[in-house]
Amino acid sequence: MSFLSRRHLIMAASGIATAAVSSRLAFAQATAPAPAGPFKIDPLPYPTSALEPHIDAKTMEIHHDKHHQAYVTNLNTFAKDHLQIAEKPLVEVLGNLGNVPESIRTGVRNNMGGHVNHTMFWQIMGPNGGKPEGDVLAAIDRDLGGMEKLQAEFNAAGGRVFGSGWVFVTVTKDGKLAIETRPNQDSPIMDGKRALLGNDVWEHAYYLTYQNRRPDYLKAWWNTVNWKAISERYAAAKAGTLGV
């Protein structure tokens, strides 16, 4: 074997070893746990593929593990120097943003809003979600003109959201329902209301499958709604115990 050949073999082996180390480091970074803190993100209550074909598994993975986690990570960063934002219930902090220190108020609004909106979002979806019935169906008929009208007006409102935001069915303490939208990560909690259900119309919620076809996403999303969870939320709202 020539000197040049031996040299090439040594360099190749070195390159393979370096690549292996780099790969292990990249994997370690990718799987490293999020920074510890008082705010936590709950795991999805179903597999990321459970809502297919209406919402694809990759979108669910990125949405939950990256986007939602980013809001929680940011909140934990704020809490390092302002622990008071973690010492009260989320609904109390968001319902009284004027009491949050001005230096972090916008950050708390955006990131805590994102945290509560997404926490609600994962809870009110699921496979085999059934149909509305009982008190929640009666409220939909009474306040929103029935399911067909609700879906049509909800989808239209979601389609009109300019840029990024949410479309909600809000519920008051007396059980009254309304269709409302909010920009960015604002939550009905900021206005003293609660979200009975809501759909995320940020592009990260649907773009891998639907691209710019938000109306198609809004229509398909109804196939993912978990009406048992929504009935439970409605009962909690009327009992004054509904959190996020």
Model pLDDT for residues 102-135, shown as the tens digit of each residue: 999 999 999 999 999 999 999 999 998 899 999 9
Is residue 202 scored above 70 in pLDDT? yes
pLDDT in tens, 150-179: 999 999 999 999 999 999 999 999 999 999
Longest dimension (CA), the chain: 88
The conformation of residue 32, written as its DSSP 8-state character, comes to: P
Q: Are 130 and 170 in contact (CB under 8 A)?
A: no
Residue 3's identity, in one-letter code, is F
* Best CATH choice for the domain 56-244 from the list 2.160.10.10, 3.40.630.30, 3.40.50.300, 3.55.40.20: 3.55.40.20
CA dist., res. 33 & res. 40, Å (int): 12
Beta bridge partners of 165: 183
CA dist., res. 84 & res. 62, Å (int): 30
State percent of the chain over pLDDT 70. 86
For CA atoms 41, 159, 152, 184, the dihedral sign is positive
Query: What is this structure's pTM?
Result: 0.85
Is residue 13 scored above 60 in pLDDT? no
pLDDT in tens, 206-230: 999 999 999 999 999 999 999 999 9
From residue 139, give the alpha-carbon distance in Å to each of 75, 121, 152.
35, 21, 17
CA dist., res. 21 & res. 150, Å (int): 55
Is residue 18 scored above 90 in pLDDT? no
pLDDT in tens, 42-88: 999 999 999 999 999 999 999 999 999 999 999 999 999 999 999 99
Phi and psi at 158, nearest 5°, equal: -65, -35
